[in-house]
Amino acid sequence: MSVRSRARLAMTQRAYLERFTPASVDASGDPTQSWSSLSTTPCRVLRNDEKPVLSEGNQRYVETFRVMVPDTTDVTTKDRVLKITDRASTPAKLFGETDNDGTTDIAITIDAIIPRHDAKVLVLRNEGSGLRAS
């Protein structure tokens, strides 16, 4: 079994990717926030780091997730992850609360893409939309 095949077998979750599509502009000339479905791809959430930061006198948490996807996945840092589910379509709770369909109440942007020989690793970051009790 090849290294690429072993990596693919480990991807037991699904990532729903979206791409920004500037369909029109608003009164100030900025593109409107419009996202279209890009793909549903196998993935595996590898790691979650959480670090406290002090912001405006309040302690917030910065969460970083690393998500492995196949190396052939069409994805850029301008895309975002709508949700991640398991094979039974049960949503994984990543950032904040999720709605019934597994979508989050905040956008999960792709901060970086780390190429590996057998896959790509997406770095997803939440800059702490909510406060935690300290």
Q: Give the span between the Cα atoms of 81 and 103, in whole angstroms.
A: 9
| Contact between residue 89 and residue 60 where contact means Cβ atoms under 8 Å apart | no
Distance CA 95, CA 87 (A): 20
Beta bridge partners of 52: 61
How confident is the model at residue 132, as a pLDDT? 41
Exposure of 124 by Cβ count < 10 A (0-12 exposed, 13-18 middle, 19+ buried)? Answer: buried
pLDDT tens-digit readout, 6-54: 777 889 999 999 998 877 777 888 777 788 899 999 999 887 777 777 7
Q: Does position 134 have pLDDT exceeding 70, yes or no?
A: no
Question: Distance (Å, rounded) from C-alpha 53 to C-alpha 42?
Answer: 32
Closest CA to 65 of 78, 55, 50, 79: 50
Q: Does the reported pTM lie above 0.85? A: no
**3-22+31-126: in CATH 2.40.10:** yes
What is the structure's pLDDT at 3? Answer: 62
Chain segment 76-98, per-residue pLDDT in tens: 999 999 888 888 888 877 655 54
User: Which segment, 42-46, 73-77, 123-127, is predicted with the most confidence on average?
Assistant: 73-77
- What's the residue count for the chain? 134
Q: Nearest Cα to 38, choosing from 70, 72, 7, 82?
A: 82
